[in-house]
Structure 1
Amino acid sequence: MTVIRSLLLFALAALAEIGGAWLIWQGRRENRGLWWIAAGVVALGAYGFVATLQPDANFGRILAAYGGVFVAGSLGWAVVVDKFHPDRWDLVGAAICLVGVAVIMYAPRSAS
């Protein structure tokens, strides 16, 4: 159950961070205005809060593992929202990142 909770929190964090950055991009680069930028800032703040809900107590480990989720999530966002077509190397890279997430967060550890 802890792994499922952690994975759901990673997904929520990715949605908040990637969505927040996209909103700011839209506000600034696509000239949609300050409301889009403000919404992005709020979403990015939510991302920071969601990370604190992870069951692991090590900030560095959570942030390092989240980096892999961010890479894969960014490609997923690009496919769904921006109609981007990743090539096989994008997919291989994302898969490698997700393997890294699994190793960093969920590998058995000895109590030390």
Structure 2
Amino acid sequence: MTTIAIFTITALCEIAGCFAFWAWARQGASALWLVPGVASLIAFAWLLTRIDSDFAGRAYAAYGGIYIVASLVWLWAFEGTRPDRWDVAGGAVCVLGALLILYGPRSV
């Protein structure tokens, strides 16, 4: 599986897990929402370790850009609010940063 695919699945797991807590704490959802929420957060943490990187910090930093874009997709798809031009511009900058971190030339 490619790095971008793993990052995308990882982001969905993190967002779903965090949203379960949001729904419980802020929207009055049942505490049962926390069960799949915790499972999603465990999957998120495990998936992040599958990234092909020599350093955890570099994997986390690159993931951050993908997470931001996935959050904007979640905003639109699941919360019904379309990202505005500033959201899109910020997401594009973040993805560019993530790609630079992942694929930029390194001197060893």
Query: With structure 2 as the length reference, what TM-score do the two structures score?
Result: 0.94
Aligned to 1:85: 82
Q: Identity of aligned pairs, percent?
A: 35
User: For 1:1-112, what aligned pairs fall within 5 Å after superposition?
Assistant: 5-110=2-107, 112=108
Q: 2: CA distance between counterparts of 1:13 and 1:106?
A: 19
Q: Which 4+ stretches in 1 moved above 2 angstroms?
A: none
Query: 1:39-74 CA deviation, whole Å, 9 max, x = no partner?
Result: 111111110000010111210000011111111110
Q: Size of the alignment, in residue pairs?
A: 108
Post-superposition shift, 1:108? 2.3
In structure 2, stretches of 5+ residues that fail to align are none
In structure 1, stretches of 5+ residues that fail to align are none
What one-letter code is carried by the residue in structure 1 that aligns with 2:99?
A
CA RMSD of aligned residues (A): 1.1
Post-superposition shift, 1:5? 0.9
